[in-house]
Structure 1
Amino acid sequence: MKVANRGDVKPFYAMEVMKAANKLESEGRRIYHMEVGQPATSAPQAVLDAAEKALKDNPIGYTEALGIPELRSAIAKHYGDMYGLDLDPKRVVVTTGSSTGFLLTFLSLFNTGDRVVLAEPGYPAYRNILGALDIEAVGLPCGPNTNFQPSPDLMATIKDPVQGLLVASPSNPAGTMLTSAELEKLIGYCEERHISFISDEIYHGLTYEQDAATALQFTNDVVVINSFSKYFSMTGWRLGWMIVPEQLVTTVEKLAQSMFISAPSVSQHAAVAAFDCKGEVKGYINAYAKNRELLLRELPKIGFDKLAAADGAFYIYANVNHLTDDSMEFCQKMLNECGVAATPGIDFDPHRGHEYIRLSFAGAYEEMEGAINALRQWLI
């Protein structure tokens, strides 16, 4: 049977590392998991209770493609509570995780052969989904001088026309953020040139020095993608959402009807309760902040002294070019020799990622302490 070229995408190395780490763990090795952005915490208790009630009280069937009205309204209210915005629930699209949101966005905004700019380093699934759709991903090298984020000046270095820009603030893997002024300027640059702007806001709420600005504070002519996975610690519930311009709702709905029917029913009913759990979620964020403080203090002492700002999310992006010129080999050695699982930078930046690794601090504090001790013994 012939295999289509669009399926020829690079592996997600974070998942490959996790597979290798799990194998060693099954053999009795002590492994410190810092390879994936998987919160150590459960979903909030009220979400668990709502899921149990939904299983008892509701037939678990299809919902409307755009999501149940209660959840769409709760999401719209969240934008009022968090950002002071009056958002029409009709613009809210509930999705099967944020990954579905990216697929629906790319399908509804771009044609075959269009070009979409992605910051490098950036989340690898962006590139892979675009490639599978025959849309060209245009890598934009971003470094410490712009806090690993795109800027109008960097965008101006791209000579050929582009149709889209995808921005993540806070970002994965660097955890860096755009200020409100920087985000507004970038959106303005794109509007002047009719470049579609997509804002990945999955790590909103997970910030440590300043709150993140949403693109919706500056214009309605953007697509915003978010998820219950990170902030609400609901990765396995496979539930996300999009905020789309009014003129895009029908297009997205028709695509969603044919491709996904609807997001998981139980997850939708349970997630309505998530927005009443922000006190519990604050406890999660405090735990991440404690982990972050530990790593930012201790990593430089053991040789990891070139770190991205880690303004938000739960990642440390470390330049290790003084230790290796092959981040994949380095991560393999680190896993095998001291039991610390991390993701090679080539996952996020195919050109300069050989000099970087990403460490996730989404796990328990004890896991972070153990990893630091293991790395100290290995490196010093």
Structure 2
Amino acid sequence: MEVLGEAVARERAGHRVIHMEVGQPGAPAPSPVIAAAHQALGGPLGYTESLGIRPLREAIAAHYRRTYGVDLAPDRVAITAGSSGAFTLAFLAAFAPGARVALPTPGYPAYRNLLGALGLEAVEIECGADTRWALTPEMIARAHAERPLDGILVASPANPTGTMYTPAALDALVRAADDLGIWFISDEIYHGLVHNGVQATALASSDRAIVVNSFSKYYCMTGWRIGWMVMPEVLAKPIDRLAQNLTLSNNEISQRAALAAFDAASTVELEAVRAGYAENRALLIEALPRLGFTDLLPIDGAFYAYASCARFSNDSLDFVRRMLVEAGVAATPGADFDAARGNAYVRFSFAGTRADCAEAIERIGQWLR
């Protein structure tokens, strides 16, 4: 976000900046979503049920039946203020102060920051190429034996690595958590944005899994701040009570608009956007190693390329700041995602247009010569 702030300041000063620092779709929400929002503006708007309007919860349950073959009661769905709101509710409902939650590193920094803010301990487990940058049941067993864990949190596809768990690998991890009697939280916010492999939901393996998703990424609705969580029945009441006190209810316009995200017309538009990401991915997979960014991690899904900048710098924050000023390209320093090794890495988001992606490659190439 600091890089974004500096990029915006340069734009205000008249400089052109290509934004590859923030994980935000460059495309707008699908036209049926926008039309539904306009329609909602014509009627009364007020508080909704704390866990969300019933039609949207039913639509999400239908989405799981249609997409994953998982039967899901709408009462287990909570509508939240993006995935961020879902994580807050999940952590508060599932864990007591001092609880220990394992997560892979590199990984999304807000996980550990939120856990710390709530008096919980983030147990970061270093992952590497030998496990395709993902946790394994053996890693969890070792960490739990050293000092008991209370939960596991993983993302598939992951930010920043783009790594996906195979259905079998995800199933093994979920079952390991169940065997240990600890909570499994699955961040599935990048589902739908799959380039290599098969996406699977943790709900296919256990009714105890807590699944977080959002309309921000695949559905191109970041600014609408609308997401969801699928919760085990035992947590439904606690989460409802927490939601009543923390937010009372979510934005009604966004909830009613999100219903249209599941329309066939929306899917056509969204699949065209996803195809654009695939083209950008192909550009970066070819260009980044050629430019000297070695050790490019798997980009199974999402819209990030996480690559080593060690050939040029051992301080990724300084590197991206110089790249912003001297090349006009904004990217994210790896230290955000991995305190131990991230100074050698940079994350590029390729959620923008193909033209911007191609121009960024050209600018970086000229800058590094």
TM-score surpassing 0.5? yes
SS at match of 1:167: strand
> Map of 1:156-305 to 2, 5 A cutoff?
156-158=141-143, 159-276=146-263, 277-305=266-294
1:146 aligned onto 2:131: yes
In structure 1, stretches of 5+ residues that fail to align are 1-14
Q: 2:51 aligns with which of 66, 69, 81?
A: 66
- Asked whether 1:44 is paired with 2:30, we answer yes
Correspondences of 1:25-44 after superposition (within 5 Å): 25-44=11-30
For residues 64-115 of structure 1, the C-alpha deviation after alignment (integer angstroms, 9 at most, x for no partner) is: 0010011000000000111111111110000011101000000001111111
- The letter for the 2-side match of 1:332 is R
Say whether residues 1:321 and 2:310 are aligned partners.
yes
1:78 pairs with 2:63: yes
CA–CA separation in structure 2 for the residues paired with 1:245 and 1:103: 16
Q: Which residue of 1 aligns with 2:94?
A: 109
CA contact (8 A) 1:96 1:262 kept: no
* Corresponding residue for residue 41 of structure 2: 55
CA RMSD of aligned residues (A): 0.9
Residue 156 (structure 1) shift: 3.0
> Which of 19, 22, 26 is 2:8 aligned to?
22
Name the CA distance, whole Å, in 2 between partners of 1:204 and 1:211. 10
Residue 330 (structure 2) aligned to one of 341, 349, 353:
341
C-alpha contact 1:187 1:197 (8 A) present in aligned 2: yes
In structure 1, how many angstroms separate the alpha carbons of the residues matched to 2:125 and 2:314? 21
Superposed CA deviations along residues 206-237 of structure 1, whole A, max 9, x for unmatched, are 00122310001111111000000001000000
Normalization by structure 1: what TM-score? 0.95
Counterpart residue identity of residue 16, structure 1: E
Equivalent position amino acid for 2:313 in 1: T
Deviation at 1:202, TM superposition (A): 0.1
Q: Matches of 2:283 and 2:306 in 1, distance apart?
A: 15
Aligned residues: 365
**Superposed displacement of residue 157, structure 1:** 3.2
Instruction: Report if the CA contact (8 A) 2:210-2:230 is conserved.
Output: yes
Q: Contact (CA 8 Å) 2:82, 2:226: kept in 1 or not?
A: yes
Give the whole-Å Cα distance in 1 for the aligned partners of 2:12 and 2:359: 18
Aligned-partner Cα distance in 1 for 2:169–2:358: 35
Whole-angstrom CA distance in 2 between matches of 1:118 and 1:154: 10
Partner Cα distance (2:181, 2:208) in 1: 10
Aligned match for 1:358, one of 328, 347, 366? 347
Post-superposition, which runs of at least 4 consecutive aligned residues in structure 1 deviate over 3 A? none
Which residue of structure 2 lines up, in the alignment, with residue 6 of structure 1?
none
User: Structure 2 stretches of 5 or more lacking a match?
Assistant: none
